[in-house]
Structure 1
Amino acid sequence: MSALMMLLMVLSLGFSSLSHAAPAEGGSGDGATSSYESLATLLEDPSQREALIEGLRQLDSKASEQAVEVAGEDVTLSEDSPSLSRQLAAISQDLVADLSATLDRMLGTLDGLANEDADEIDWSRFTSEAVSLGLVVISTIALFLVLRRLAKPLFSRVSQWSLDGQHRSPLLRTLLAVLVAAVVDIAVIGLAFLGGYLLAIFAYGEQGVIGQRESMFLNAYLVIELFKALMRMLFSSGYKGLRLLPMPDEVARYWNRSLAMLAGFIGYGILVVVPMINNNLAPAVGSFVNLLIMAITLVWAIVVISRNRIILRDRLLTQAREANNAIIAVCLRILARTWHLIALAYFATLFIISQTTPEEALPFMMGATLKTLLAIGGGALLSRVVTQLIGKRIQISDKLRGQLPLLEKRLNSYIPTALRIMRAIILIVVVGMVLNAWHIVALGEWLATDAGALLLSRIFHVLFILAFAIAVWVGIASLIEHKLNPDTGKGKPSSRVETLLALFRNAIAIAMIVFTAMIVLSEIGIDIAPLLAGAGVLGLAIGFGAQKMVQDIITGVFIQLENAINTGDVVSAGGVTGTAERLTIRSVGIRDLSGTFHIVPFSSVDTVSNYMRDFAYHVGEYGISYRENVDHAIVHLRAAFDELEAGSYGPEILEPVTIAGVSALADSSVNIRVMIKTSPGNQWAIGREYNKLVKQHFDAAGIEIPFPHMTMYFGQDKDGGAPPANVRTMQAPFVIDGSAAGQPKTPEQREAAAKVAKRREENPLTRHATEDGEVVDAEEQRIRQTTQPDADGD
């Protein structure tokens, strides 16, 4: 492509010499001289001059009337505007007609040039201009290559520095390395441009003035090489550490070389060759060359895109699967399936614009492309930085963590959310900049209007309000947390302080949410006065319809004012007894002894019993049998208390034991009441320990503690004698009142009973005779003896 560009530039120089030579051998110009003399004579005569002025004014008025008529036709057409398909068809027809007319004009121009005599070409002028332009081109490119060669060690060191730091802050190192390399690359391009410019003026120019062709080449060189430098930032082929886009070396080398060749072919062709042909030969020929260059570009783009469609799609899908962010993954998947369509649309747009508006085509496309690349590249880099910040956990110092244990958790909750919002804003801004670059949406012009400035101002105000509200909430919550932390301030706060601060934190959170929402709505232009009125009406409706909730809140307020319940207290409320773990303005959370958590609304609480106020009592009823001495038992109860007081529970006992005496003569025991005054919350532990000591002391003293038992009475006669109990064992068959009793029912039971009876008969040691001469076994004899009534008949 570079050789083709050089050939086109040389041909344009030849046409230039021909065009300069033709007027020199043309007519004498007498017609032009006579026209000038007639115009001078006309202006010298006052009457003719006035007539000329009047005629010009009449022509101006007619032109204005025609403009009004044309405007009216435009309005009529706009009212009855054609559909999109008709507009596309009209554009296509106009494009084909323009191409056909351009081709006809070009063929006519070439035919006229072919009829010119070759001897009319000023070969000396052609040779000097060709040599001058060639020397400038060769000198500039050679100087650029030499400077790039000198800068190569610097590029290598910067790339290695970037690769060495991939284990720590890889993105930051890559960005710094790419920026340094870009600055050096731009400096090399600028020095080569400056050198070529100086050579064109002082070495090859005429009388210190640069030629038009040399100037066009140098300007084109500067634009094209800057574009190539941007491509090297994305697809650096020789330095992996200076590459922004992650890809293998061969892939980067392929795209860098292909895009550089394409940029050179289009840039030098449109910016150098076509203007030289237009100025020195004919615009029709220049239009044809423009068409030829853009057609070759379009065909090349279609071929390259078709070859790489599947490869690039698979690479993008692989990156989408490896992406950590869902939004990035979705964008990569969409791009993987549509990138070839976007690329084809880009080159088709370039081809159409270059033929319809050739003067503005390349500047517009290069500007739009550069803006798009900068917007997408900058947005991608910022999004990547934000994504890394989201994944990095914020850590505070150990001292601050000890004072504010929840501050780190809050920061790691709010800041990533803010960064995600920032990433979404970056995406919206990038999309807007891309649309504005291609003139799809006039974003810059709209932002310059009052509506755009107002919207932008409101967005910034809303973001500031939200950030300020979050900062205030974090500060207040951290201050409350500092007050509640036992390791800071004045030590462990009281239960009252914990409860009130927790309620205050909840109230502040609700108030800040409501006020922030109202301020944000007011800032975006919504009148909040109707909202406030509606909120009042809604409050009344809720007050009438949700009386239970209102009762919960009112009762909760008075409970807190009376300090009836604090966090950590053992209370009885609403039929539930346990530890109050959570308090809100409308309910209390109680965990009972089995671990069940109960939420009790305050409206269902008639009485609150708090076991943690000032002091408490262990009240115990200790029973002794009727045969024991009460005073002797009281002595041992005091001894048990003395041992309790001397132990680890002594500091929690507030007063000496109170023994009220006999509290009841129960059915089987004499009950003695004992009261021990303790610190609140310790009455249960002290009671358990005292019960253990009482049992030990009573056992040592032989004092019987009654327990449920049953005495069997067999009756007695008038003389006080009791008949013997008729007790028989169940292991052997026997008869009661002439009927079988205790007989085995199943064959297995009968067999087992027969074996037992046989064993007893075979072993005479287990059997003996009673006083009545009856032979029984030893166990039956023992049962009879234990059930024999004593002398008292019991």
Structure 2
Amino acid sequence: MTFAKTWIASLLILASLVLGPLSPTDAVAQATGDATDPDPDAARGNLDLLLRVIEDDASRAALIDELKAAQTTAETPADDQVVETLAEASGQSAPAESLSLSRRIAEITQAVAQDLASGLSAGWEQITRAPAVFDGFSGAETGILLEALQQLGLILVATVAVFLLLRSIGKRIYGRMGARAGESGIIRTVGLFLASGLIDALIVVVAWAIGYAIATFALGNFGQIGIRQTLYLNAFLLVELCKVAVRLILSPSAHNLRPMPVSDGAAKYLSRRLNFMVGLVGYGQLLVVPIINSNVSYSAGRAVSALVALIVVGIAIWLVLRNRKPVADWLERGGRTPEDVVQETRLEQAEQPDPPQPDARTIGTPDPAPRKRGALGVLARHWHWPALLYLLVMLVLVLVQPGDVAFRSLMNSGQVLLVVILGIALSGAMTRVMVSGVQLPERINQRLPLLERRLNTFVPKALFVLRLVIFVAVVAFALNAINLIDLRGWMASQIGVDLTGTLFSVAAVLVVAFGIWVALTSWVDYRLNPEFGSVATAREKTLLSLMRNAATIALVLITLMFVLSEIGLDIAPLLASAGVLGLAIGFGAQKLVQDIITGVFIQLENAMNVGDVVALGSTSGVVERLTIRSVGLRDLTGAYHLIPFSSVDMVTNYVREFGYALCDMGVAYREDIADVKQAMLDAFDQLRSDPEQAANIMGDLEWFGINSFGDSAIVVRARIKCLPGTHWGVGRAYNGVLKEVFDARNIEIPFPHQTIYLGEAKDGTTQPFRIQSDEGAA
């Protein structure tokens, strides 16, 4: 390669020396194309000079410097190429041209302006020549088409008759399917929807096959079929299958199978217009144009193709202008039909405490939808302007492009329309799901009462995100169909592969995490449901609630880590920072850490549960709330106490396994203890005879005897073993029965006595009492 570059440089230098060595720039220019045949003697002398220059490093460097200086003064592409070639041949690299920023910007804008001007000029020239596309008509097209129609008359009538007969049978089947779909769930409705599309497509295939059989065995020579008949039958198959797709989406005869959120009248209106346009394009391009091409000329076929495309675009423009207001209203309703608006209004009124009374004049009339604000509202109200702009562009393409290009443009437009309809259908289905909500079977609601509400909280948000994704996908596919972007090339690029892979991975992580969370919370709900399975104890309720909260927090953190890892962020520094932050928080929040650690051990040791009666320090009450950090108590006065676990040094649980009703009874010193014991035993027997109290008593009366000698009474002690939490009530009931038995047996229950001493003199006298009567006399 170096040898070749050196040889080219030598030839150029030789030409410059032969033709005029006074100016290197002129010599190079002449060597590139303007040189004449030199004198042979002069050429041999110059060749010797050239060899000396090449062999001498200093001379060769001086020549290169002179050529670089010439490049600076004469900025021509030829000079640049020569300098670069000579520099490469000598082993040196050519320096980049040092241009100012404003010069570079000027060159860029100059190139853009020139390209734009040339493009506009070429486009305008094509537009001015556009009417010439119809010069291909020779006048013989009508006769050719009438002749072809005569040849195809019998097969056309037979095929259409079979098709209409089968379609009439199919409509009855669609009606029954639609009635069943109105009473079925989502899965069965989807099955009926797919079955209706399969039946409709099967009708087309059967009619096409019968047409082929008639053309092959009944018309013309047995076992042979004409090319025109083949063209018609193939066009019939493709066109009618496209119509099947239109009918499948709009379902004009089955409201309950319609994925497109439009009314019955709109579905029938759109179905008829779209089927007509599909038939016009399909039969025109697949049948009429090939016949004209083979029997008249290709220019006539192109003219027919352009005429068909022009008619279709004109019909589309007329439809947009005619229906711009109804479509705008439909878009402002969010793609909902008037029936959906009426249903939502009735549901909202039913949820109100005092729903307004319906007016006979407004029954069945939906309230006007609120006008959308922002960019979406403006786009919904003026949707026809971008649609008309697109159709005008298509009109220009039809006129200026060849017939096959115009047909491809129309096919791309059909793909765009199909994708838009599918996107609207999916969005409408999601809207109906968001409006009606997720409805689970009653059997599942009984077992998992919170699952439906939980799904209705998250599913609408997920459907909103999915609707946004569908909108972006529809716009991208539409731009790709009209060749504004290369969607396939972008998705095949490294950026597209990485981005789509990341999006799918993140979506999969979020879906799996949501599924795990729903399964975990549903299992906890099932375990806490007292109507199914074993009844959960108080400790199980507390531990399951704490486990659900802890698992939710852990799942959120793990999911966040996975998502950050999938989008390319290095989570190792994040984990290290989290560790350092956790250590700092641990030092700064030792009390909080102590609360959590103490709470964990209290729960593991089953010290108390929700509903227990406990005493924590000087506070006692019923446990109403128990978290990993604190406990909430409600005392007898109704006061609520929130106690952190770090301040709990002892837990007294009054309702664990059993409880004792302790009775310390005081009797007079004069009473016989044996009689007192018998009276207390008899009182216990009387208490046990009460069924309500007997259900709470777990054993016989335990007699302990004399417990203490008081100032006024002898205190005897006994106790009754009771079910946990019932000993207070049993003790109070026993005290009541015991008072009745002591009174009946004249056993004194003493109270404190006080002796009043007034003092006395040495002679034994004391101060007399003065008692005043009611009349005031002493």
TMscore range, shorter length: 0.5 to 0.7
Aligned position for 1:365: 409
2:392 equivalent to 1:351: no
Say which is worse superposed, 167-176 or 281-290, in terms of deviation: 281-290
Q: How does 1:186-225 map to 2 (within 5 A)?
A: 186-187=204-205, 190-191=208-209, 194=212, 210=227, 224-225=239-240
Aligned position for 2:150: 135
1:167 to 175, 178, 182: 182
Contact 1:160 1:241 in 2 (8 A): no
Distance in 1 of aligned mates of 2:265 and 2:466: 35
Q: How does 1:82-231 map to 2 (within 5 A)?
A: 93-103=121-131, 132-169=147-184, 171-172=189-190, 175-176=193-194, 178-187=196-205, 190-191=208-209, 194=212, 210=227, 224-231=239-246
Contact 1:141 1:192 in 2 (8 A): no
Letter in 2 for 1:162: M
Q: How does 1:395-794 map to 2 (within 5 A)?
A: 395=441, 397=443, 425-473=469-517, 499-500=542-543, 502-560=545-603, 562-573=605-616, 575-613=618-656, 616-620=659-663, 622=665, 636-644=679-687, 647=690, 648-649=693-694, 651-653=697-699, 656-665=702-711, 670=713, 672=715, 674-679=717-722, 680-702=724-746, 725=772, 727=774, 784=775
Distance in 1 of aligned mates of 2:472 and 2:214: 43
Percent identical across equivalent pairs?
A: 35
- CA gap 1:554/1:720 in 2 versus in 1, 3 angstroms: closer
Cα displacement (A) at 1:586: 1.7
Cα displacement (A) at 1:152: 3.7
- CA gap 1:137/1:87 in 2 versus in 1, 3 angstroms: farther
- CA gap 1:94/1:261 in 2 versus in 1, 3 angstroms: farther
Q: Normalising by structure 2, what TM-score?
A: 0.65
Letter in 2 for 1:134: L
Letter in 2 for 1:611: Y
Say which is worse superposed, 376-385 or 236-245, in terms of deviation: 236-245
When Rg is computed on C-alpha atoms for both structures, the one with the higher figure is: 1
Contact 1:174 1:244 in 2 (8 A): no
Q: Which SS does the other structure have where 1:593 is aligned?
A: coil
Letter in 1 for 2:741: H
Letter in 1 for 2:594: Q
- CA gap 1:609/1:371 in 2 versus in 1, 3 angstroms: same
Letter in 2 for 1:446: W
Q: How does 1:169-318 map to 2 (within 5 A)?
A: 169=184, 171-172=189-190, 175-176=193-194, 178-187=196-205, 190-191=208-209, 194=212, 210=227, 224-234=239-249, 245=260, 251-265=266-280, 298-314=313-329, 317=332
Say which is worse superposed, 704-713 or 687-696, in terms of deviation: 704-713
Distance in 2 of aligned mates of 1:446 and 1:140: 47
Cα displacement (A) at 1:161: 1.1
- Deviation per residue, 1:426-466 (Å, 9 max, x gap): 55544444443333443333333344334444444444444
Q: Which SS does the other structure have where 2:697 is aligned?
A: helix
Distance in 2 of aligned mates of 1:130 and 1:405: 70
Cα displacement (A) at 1:419: 6.5
Number of equivalenced pairs: 639
Letter in 2 for 1:168: E
Distance in 2 of aligned mates of 1:242 and 1:506: 42
Cα displacement (A) at 1:535: 0.7
Distance in 1 of aligned mates of 2:450 and 2:133: 80
Contact 1:102 1:287 in 2 (8 A): no
Contact 1:200 1:210 in 2 (8 A): no
- CA gap 1:254/1:379 in 2 versus in 1, 3 angstroms: closer
- Deviation per residue, 1:653-688 (Å, 9 max, x gap): 4651334345532xxx64735341534433312221
- Deviation per residue, 1:223-243 (Å, 9 max, x gap): 554444444445566777886
Q: CA RMSD in A?
A: 5.5
Contact 2:676 2:747 in 1 (8 A): yes
Distance in 2 of aligned mates of 1:85 and 1:200: 66
Letter in 1 for 2:227: I
Q: Which runs of 5 or more residues in structure 2 are unaligned?
A: 1-31, 34-76, 82-103, 346-368
Cα displacement (A) at 1:496: 5.4
Letter in 2 for 1:355: L
Cα displacement (A) at 1:530: 0.7
Contact 2:332 2:370 in 1 (8 A): no
Contact 1:102 1:288 in 2 (8 A): no
Cα displacement (A) at 1:154: 1.1
- CA gap 1:700/1:494 in 2 versus in 1, 3 angstroms: same
2:440 equivalent to 1:394: yes
Distance in 1 of aligned mates of 2:491 and 2:214: 42
- Deviation per residue, 1:307-342 (Å, 9 max, x gap): 322244345556366358999998997775244234
Cα displacement (A) at 1:690: 1.7
Distance in 1 of aligned mates of 2:532 and 2:310: 78
Distance in 2 of aligned mates of 1:492 and 1:264: 68
Q: How does 1:326-341 map to 2 (within 5 A)?
A: 336-341=380-385
Distance in 2 of aligned mates of 1:105 and 1:177: 45
Contact 1:224 1:267 in 2 (8 A): yes
Q: Which SS does the other structure have where 1:658 is aligned?
A: strand
Distance in 2 of aligned mates of 1:514 and 1:483: 25
